[in-house]
Structure 1
């Protein structure tokens, strides 16, 4: 899934637009609830080695919140990793250029939206 496709999906489904909060990380984009301003997702471009890949090239990841009892099983799937820069008991990182189907990414994002409501 491309970053732009994800942004369009989030706009359409959740009426949220990416917010760029850090000038020193201009490609980090946060998705928030309108009512509470809680985050339900963050897209970052990070060196692949930060999530266990064998490359230092930057990759796009999406961090989403999941039920703690699902974290371990999710991390066993190709393309899902321990959360980068978020609580690893409640969040996972999804490699956007990875093998996960778009539908699975959309479902995980929807779950994150519900869990952070």
Structure 2
């Protein structure tokens, strides 16, 4: 993975933030030009279509591209200084101009926006070793009411399963048997299967039904 890919992994450009940062519109996309402080090399960053990020570092003395900083195998005080300044610029842009986008499924993104607008709750990413997993909790009781996980749905018994995004939700134990059908609704993955069930966020459950079940799960956490 290239240095650019590492820094911008799971990031998506926010155009208004890019403009505020100093990016300008060009034929190839939004462009930002800066001077690296130690080397005085000119660095150009372009954010093109489909979040494509390209960079160019130019030696102003020779007016030619400089590329030694792109490989960690190239060492020495000067090249390491260029690499440090190059990374600093990119990390600043990633922090100030890009939004984190861990989850990719359209239904997952739609659900995240619904919860944010209705309740003001934000996903919490608790596990460093599982960066693609997150939880929602009620701020008043601190109890979880949903988890969103990325997993191989073969493990749920899904025919032709693949890596996908799922949600675990709470339910009253007495209602579990009537709900779980191992088609749309599955026993809770990595959760207490008496109190939690799982939905694959692939559209198999209509969004209107999904948000109703999220609401019900959240409302089960009214008491501490």
Fold match (TM-score > 0.5): yes
Residue 6 (1) aligns with residue 111 (2): yes
Q: CA deviation at 1:10?
A: 0.9
Q: Is the 8 A contact 2:186 2:198 kept in 1?
A: yes
Q: CA deviation at 1:54?
A: 3.1
- Structure 2 unmatched ranges of 5 or more: 1-105
SS where residue 167 of structure 2 aligns? Answer: strand
Output the CA distance in 1 between the equivalents of 2:163 and 2:182: 21
SS where residue 2 of structure 1 aligns? Answer: helix
Q: Once superposed, what is the RMSD of the aligned Cα atoms?
A: 1.5
Q: State TM-score, norm by structure 1.
A: 0.92
Output the CA distance in 2 between the equivalents of 1:13 and 1:50: 32
Q: CA deviation at 1:55?
A: 4.2
Residue 83 (1) aligns with residue 188 (2): yes
Q: CA deviation at 1:98?
A: 4.1
SS where residue 197 of structure 2 aligns? Answer: strand
Counterpart of 1:25 (choices 130, 145, 149) is 130
Q: Show the counterpart of 1:45.
A: 150
SS where residue 141 of structure 2 aligns? Answer: coil
Output the CA distance in 2 between the equivalents of 1:79 and 1:25: 25
Output the CA distance in 1 between the equivalents of 2:121 and 2:155: 27
Q: Is the 8 A contact 2:168 2:189 kept in 1?
A: yes
Q: CA deviation at 1:76?
A: 1.9
**Aligned residues between the structures:** 117
Higher relative contact order (CA 8 A, sep 6+): 1
SS where residue 164 of structure 2 aligns? Answer: strand
Q: Moved runs in structure 1, 4+ residues, more than 6 A?
A: none
Q: Show the counterpart of 2:197.
A: 92
Output the CA distance in 2 between the equivalents of 1:34 and 1:25: 23
| The structure with more radius of gyration | 2
Counterpart of 2:209 (choices 82, 99, 104) is 104
- Structure 1 unmatched ranges of 5 or more: none
Q: Is the 8 A contact 2:184 2:200 kept in 1?
A: yes
